[in-house]
Structure 1
Amino acid sequence: MSHPRRYQPDDPYLARLRPLCLGLPEASEKESHGQPNFYTRKVFAVFGGVVKGDHDSDRWSQSVLILPNLLTREAALHDERFFVPAYYGPYGWVGLNFRAAEVDWDEVADLVEESYRNTAPARLVRLLP
């Protein structure tokens, strides 16, 4: 059984996120569990999320889920724009809710790159500046 799509293909936040993700070496996109996932061998970013116990809400549907370094994660969890996503949160992932405040796309690019560095094969990470 396939999952229903949980995003709008023409979402303006996704339109801004997609080139940041796909601009990284050998990054690709696929839909999984109804969400756009960006990956190399492993997923490094997901557009849209939910939190434990609130799977039907669209509150976090315009967000990006990333796997930051420990210090970045700790700082993020003290910022109201971030949340612990269901399924990914126990593995160190956080979500940045694009609706929580004006989006700083330079910050998003940095977070996506950090997540990429934490998940991509070493040979691809070496291709980054």
Structure 2
Amino acid sequence: MTADPLEQLRKLCLALPETTERLSHGEPTWFVRDGKSFVMYADHHHDDRVGFWCAAPPGVQEEMVAEEPGRFFRPPYAGHRGWLGVYLDVEVEWAEIGEIVEEAYRMVAPRTLVARLDGAPTAVQE
């Protein structure tokens, strides 16, 4: 496990366009411009495990939990909406975590911010 998974996760989240961090339900949570959360750190909501919850495309939660239940889980409170839980108290591949975080961002960010992330012109109006 990385010495401080919260700091690693924080760096990944705050590197995305117009992302902010604030506490939500007592945990560091990252939000996109309009206030929608896309990642929530979690160290006390699931059996004293360290991890995070994030938005995920339809079907991804079920697939990942079925394939690797030691690394992924259905988080309480948000699991019914398809959010994915990712354990950080196991061996972590941070490049993969970065991809998961970016996909979560894409699920909730406005099109203009996704276009900025992709390096496309931001002529799209919302």
Name the TM-score, length of structure 2 as normaliser: 0.82
Matched, 1:38 2:26: no
Q: 2:79 matched to which residue of 1?
A: 89
Q: Which portions of structure 1, spanning 4 or more consecutive aligned residues, are displaced by more than 6 angstroms?
A: none
Q: 1:66 is matched with which residue?
A: 54
TM-superposed deviation, 1:74: 3.0
Partner of residue 122, structure 2: none
- How high is the sequence identity, in percent, across the aligned residues? 38
Distance (Å, rounded) in 1 between the aligned partners of 2:62 and 2:24: 27
CA contact (8 A) 2:39 2:104 kept: yes
Three-state SS of the structure 1 residue aligned to 2:116 is coil
Within 5 A, what are the aligned runs for 1:1-80? Answer: 12-40=4-32, 41=34, 42-48=36-42, 50-51=45-46, 57-59=47-49, 62-78=50-66, 79-80=68-69
Counterpart for residue 123 of structure 2: none
TM-score for both structures, normalised by structure 1 = 0.80
Decide whether the 8 Å contact of 2:29 with 2:41 is kept in 1.
yes
Q: Distance in 2 between matches of 1:111 and 1:43?
A: 14
Deviation, 1:69, is 1.3
Give the gaps of 5 or more residues in structure 2: 119-126
CA-CA distance at 1:103 after TM superposition: 0.3
User: Are positions 1:120 and 2:114 aligned together?
Assistant: no
The 1-side partners of 2:82 and 2:75 are apart by 10
Q: Which amino acid aligns with 1:31?
A: L
Kept in 1, the 8 Å contact 2:59–2:82? The answer is no
